[in-house]
Amino acid sequence: DAKTTQPTSMDCAEGRAANLPCNHSTISGNEYVYWYRQIHSQGPQYIIHGLKNNETNEMASLIITEDRKSSTLILPHATLRDTAVYYCIVRGGGYSTLTFGKGTMLLVSP
Amino acid sequence: GAVVSQHPSWVICKSGTSVKIECRSLDFQATTMFWYRQFPKQSLMLMATSNEGSKATYEQGVEKDKFLINHASLTLSTLTVTSAHPEDSSFYICSASLRRDYEQYFGPGTRLTVT
């Protein structure tokens, strides 16, 4: 599976949009971009995933560039409870597993 | 939907004893379950993948005789840490999936401390 690069940490003010970038320049055509987050001392929580089209659900939006080499997870109105480590994972088609990197520590402040 | 539970949430055991951790998918049938380990300030590391009714597939470097995995039903997988040592102290997290290539839903984790 392709490797991903994320910033180590980011800050966001409560109520503002949080935009979390992820680079995956070696992604191949059948690989999906997945986002999970992990609140301290809890199991990871699935957020969203996509192949090439932008995706939106009740939690977030996923914007994937046309060349698919990078993506951005958008939390439209961040709350204090969104403080967590966010993992961007590229996952191949078929029966590939999830490989967690170091992720981005997002701190949402009042 | 897609709720996964783990039991216990935390456990303390003495060195040399065995500990069993349960992972249950509460509202769906999971043909595949995964076990991860997470040491403090590190990311999750996949230990093994189990499919219902068959033997687990272990990642390189994970001792299959030490970490026994059983996936006897579509809603339950167990991880038994045998002859636990202090270095096995960690956060153990399971996940479940309808199929191996579907998104995984994670349990809340089990904190194991071996004294």
Q: Token digits for B33?
A: 């379950």
Q: Give percent above pLDDT 90 in chain B.
A: 77
What are the two backbone dihedrals, phi and then psi, of residue B64, each rounded to the nearest 5 degrees? -70, -25
pLDDT tens digit at each of 110 positions of chain A: 668 999 999 999 999 999 999 999 999 888 999 999 999 989 999 999 999 989 999 999 999 999 999 999 999 999 999 999 999 999 876 666 888 999 999 999 99
| Yes or no, beta carbons of A95 and B111 under 8 Å apart | no
Q: Out of B6, B44, B49, whose CB is closest to A44?
A: B44
Residues within 8 A of B (CB atoms), A 50-79 only: none
Q: Is A37 helix (H, G, I), strand (E, B) or coil?
A: strand
C-alpha A96/C-alpha B96 separation (Å) is 14
Mean pLDDT of chain B: 93
Per-residue confidence band for B101, with pLDDT thresholds at 50, 70 and 90: low
Write down the pLDDT at residue B58: 95
- Cβ atoms of A54 and A30 within 8 Å: the answer is no
pLDDT confidence tier of residue B53, bands split at 50, 70 and 90: confident
Using the Cβ of A9 and the Cβ atoms of chain B, whether some distance falls under 8 Å is answered with no
pLDDT at B102: 76
Q: Does residue A8 belong to the interface with chain B, where contact is any CB pair within 8 Å? A: no
**What would the mean pLDDT of B104-115 be, rounded to a whole number?**
95
pLDDT of residue A35: 96
Q: How far is CA B40 from CA A67, B10, B56, B92, in A?
A: 36, 15, 26, 11
Give the dihedral of Cα atoms A30, A20, A62, A28; nearest 10 deg: -10
B76 touches chain A (CB under 8 A): no
Residues of chain B in contact with residue A94, where contact means CB-CB under 8 angstroms, are 101
pLDDT of residue B52: 84
Digit-coded pLDDT (tens) for B15-39: 999 999 999 999 889 889 999 999 9
Closest to B53 measured CA to CA, from B19, B25, B30, B37: B30
Residues in chain B: 115
Which site among B23, B62, B95, B98 would you substitute to test the A interface, given the most A Cβ atoms closer than 10 Å to its Cβ? Answer: B95
B60-70 pLDDT, tens per residue?
999 999 999 99
First vs last C-alpha separation in chain A: 37
User: What is residue B103's DSSP assignment?
Assistant: P
| CA–CA gap between residue B61 and residue B42 (Å, rounded) | 17
Residue A25 near residue A70, CB atoms below 8 Å: yes
Q: What pLDDT band is residue B92 in, cutting at 50, 70 and 90? A: very high
